[in-house]
Structure 1
């Protein structure tokens, strides 16, 4: 199993998880043209994608998903609520092979077993995904405003984890956002702060983690040093396993052994 990212942040998100010949694309927040360019950097094309899994309907996660699915004939998976929200606003999803997932009920995409996990976020029916293959587990967990016991249970035993570290609380409070947006981002249905991400890790089996990727960092309300500093207090013996996903480059392939 291996994982990579095409980019992570408020301008677009897309994560890849691969096992054998199965390649899952989690979200597609870039145009088709840009997605294909970013795939090319990893030696891939859209024809390699087995399925696109959508976490929620916000534009930085679905911008190119429908068009990419239609162009390459791969199915789209999401919750019913996400499908309803996207179809209600974006006609370019018409004609895509859309398949419903139910949070908490595992399904398979060829070689991968996928568990959709419901998360608290300001969207219609958001869920994140955990992937299993031959006893190895990769988790993708972004766009949630709080760490619930359910989330800890689902992501507490991963071999690789892509984890949101959206903002530093002090930088958000002192930053340029209007008060209403600060409350949304820092609220229970917003985005994880560095401190909240560290809280989740403190309850997880971090000794098992081969790779921890800090993702969805705000360009206005966070820095790499702030994010790493928060989680390194928990990953005291595994700092070399921590990486940061960027908006422009994402991150290159990481292999789960």
Structure 2
């Protein structure tokens, strides 16, 4: 089997991404309870006990809630950069020293037949980073929880076969919504989350001829809707001359329902 993945859960209530090949199986974040994570794996026909490890992006609870639980129960190694480890350790409970591994930002680690490349993003966490998965010429990019997509990030993530890409909020919904102003300012700022329109503008700069799928991820439950995110991103990309629905497809993600397994 080639590189394949399922967005198990995506949103402010919890995030998890499964990535695998025939030989290797990895989990990025476990932001739901252990029981919920087990249920999600069952839904996509995989088993947590077969994982090679858990890769952590940053220490916010919607990304690490189940990390310690799964690591202890299934004896899984955990990978994160040093600053994330320091911020995360008090939050995930006791984990054996031999299950703790450092994965520095801007480096590559090889897990069997998958090369995993880490890169930094702009978010209000200790040292947030996300991952690019390379296998047999295929490239999967996972990028959420960033206030903007810099030229440096674009250079790293360009020309992927598939993207799991943040499309967090509609700016007008956020501005008119019930959140207090300090929370709105945080989300809209450089260390917050990317809006539908800004996500699409970034996508337009990185999509390549081989890009076949874009998964809109980490949608706000209060300040976005799947239909609105898809419409905004599609229209923006079409205005840039990109053939949405022909050259590539846009897919939804969900806080509780995993996506169908996507094979690259």
Same fold (TM over 0.5): yes
CA distance in 1, matches of 2:177, 2:93: 36
Aligned to 1:252: 260
Deviation at 1:199, TM superposition (A): 1.4
Deviation at 1:224, TM superposition (A): 1.4
Q: Which runs of 5+ in 1 are unaligned?
A: none
Aligned to 1:23: 25
Query: Do the aligned partners of 1:211 and 1:242 also contact (CA within 8 Å) in 2?
Result: yes
Deviation at 1:242, TM superposition (A): 0.6
CA distance in 2, matches of 1:153, 1:103: 15
* Cα distance change, pair 167–181 in 1 and its aligned pair in 2 (3 A): same
Deviation at 1:96, TM superposition (A): 6.3
4+ long deviations beyond 4 Å: none
Aligned to 1:73: 75
TM-score by length of 1: 0.96
SS of structure 1 residue aligned to 2:199: helix
Query: Do the aligned partners of 1:7 and 1:247 also contact (CA within 8 Å) in 2?
Result: yes
Query: Do the aligned partners of 2:43 and 2:258 also contact (CA within 8 Å) in 1?
Result: no
Match of 1:238 among 244, 251, 260: 244
CA distance in 2, matches of 1:199, 1:171: 19
Q: Which runs of 5+ in 2 are unaligned?
A: none
Residue correspondence of structure 1 range 1-257 to structure 2 within 5 A: 1-93=3-95, 95=97, 97-232=99-234, 233-234=236-237, 236-239=242-245, 241-256=249-264
Deviation at 1:127, TM superposition (A): 0.2
* Residue range with higher mean Cα deviation, 94-103 or 125-134: 94-103
SS of structure 2 residue aligned to 1:139: strand
Query: Do the aligned partners of 2:154 and 2:205 also contact (CA within 8 Å) in 1?
Result: yes
CA distance in 1, matches of 2:135, 2:260: 20
Aligned length: 256
What whole-Å deviation, never above 9, does each CA across 1:135-190 have from its counterpart, x for those lacking one?
00001101001111111011111001000000010110001100000011111000
* Residue range with higher mean Cα deviation, 193-202 or 222-231: 222-231
RMSD of aligned Cα (Å): 1.4
CA distance in 2, matches of 1:111, 1:18: 10
SS of structure 1 residue aligned to 2:260: strand
What whole-Å deviation, never above 9, does each CA across 1:195-231 have from its counterpart, x for those lacking one?
1111111211343211100011011101112211222
CA distance in 1, matches of 2:100, 2:244: 40
CA distance in 1, matches of 2:260, 2:163: 14
CA distance in 1, matches of 2:98, 2:32: 17
